[in-house]
Every structure is written in C-alpha cells, then in structure tokens.
Amino acid sequence: MRELIVSWFGRLPEEEKDLPIIEVEGKVLTPRQIYEEVLKGTELGEKAQKVIERLRSPMTLSYEDTEMLRRVALERAKRKLSALPPGTKVGTLSGEVLTVEEFLQRAQDYIVEYEVRRILSLVR
C-alpha cells in the first residue's frame, strides 16, 4: 500500500514537502519524512500512512484528528513566519504595524484555520 504515499508525495508542490503535515505519537512529520519512513518500511511510516489515509476520508474528522491538525497547523505557521527576514513587519488594514510575533499572536486562530484547510487540501 506504499504506492499511495509514493503517489501522494510525488504530487505535492516542492515547497510543501518539508513543512509539517501530521503528527504521529507526538512527533510532527513532514511529507518527506513520511515518504522516507514508508519506503524504509518502519513502524513510524506505517502509522503515518494510516493517519494520511484517515485524513483522506471524506468522513467528519474526529476530535483527536482535529486537535492534531491544529497543533501541526500552528507549527507550520511558525516555521513559515520564522523563514521571513529578520525585522519583517506586518501591516494591518487598520494601519497598525506588527512584528511577526505580534501578528502570529493576534491572528493565530485565523492562521491555524487556514493552515488546517491547507493541510487537508494537500492530504486529500
């Protein structure tokens, strides 16, 4: 069944392959890590594939999966924002200028929801 992960990984945009996408047993994994673990045939790879398969289902997400996605989404957002040049400022529609940290703090719920939707679109 590793063909599912091989095919899925091959379809992902290159910029997404090293960003967090799921969590397995408390470990946040990127698509590249999942791909490598599945190819090696490890227990972690098997568990990761099961999570991907579960998230691909059109069924409603469980509470546990929803919470996992929120944790991973926050980690994705932090990694993306940390990649910005030092001293980057974010302007708001109200005219405020925020540091990246202030922006994340104020917009965290919106950012997390966006990243959850992004993760689901990548998995499905």
Q: pLDDT at residue 57 above 90?
A: no
Calculate the average pLDDT of the chain: 95
Residue 31: CB partners within 8 Å, gap ≥ 6? 8, 9, 12, 16, 17, 18, 19, 21, 122
Question: Would you state the pLDDT for residue 58?
Answer: 80
Please state the domain count of the chain: 1
The SS3 assignment for 24 reads strand
* CB-CB contact of 68 with 52 (8 Å): no
Element (H, E) at 78: helix 63-82
Question: Would you state the pLDDT for residue 52?
Answer: 96
* 3-state DSSP of 39-60: HHCCHHHHHHHHHHHHHHCCCC
**Rounded to whole angstroms, how far apart are CA atoms 61 and 104?**
25
Q: Which pLDDT band, with edges at 50, 70 and 90, does 84 fall under?
A: very high
Nearest to 98 by CA among 90, 87, 108: 90
**Rounded to whole angstroms, how far apart are CA atoms 60 and 8?**
21
Q: Which pLDDT band, with edges at 50, 70 and 90, does 59 fall under?
A: confident
Please give the residue range of the domain that contains residue 72.
2-123
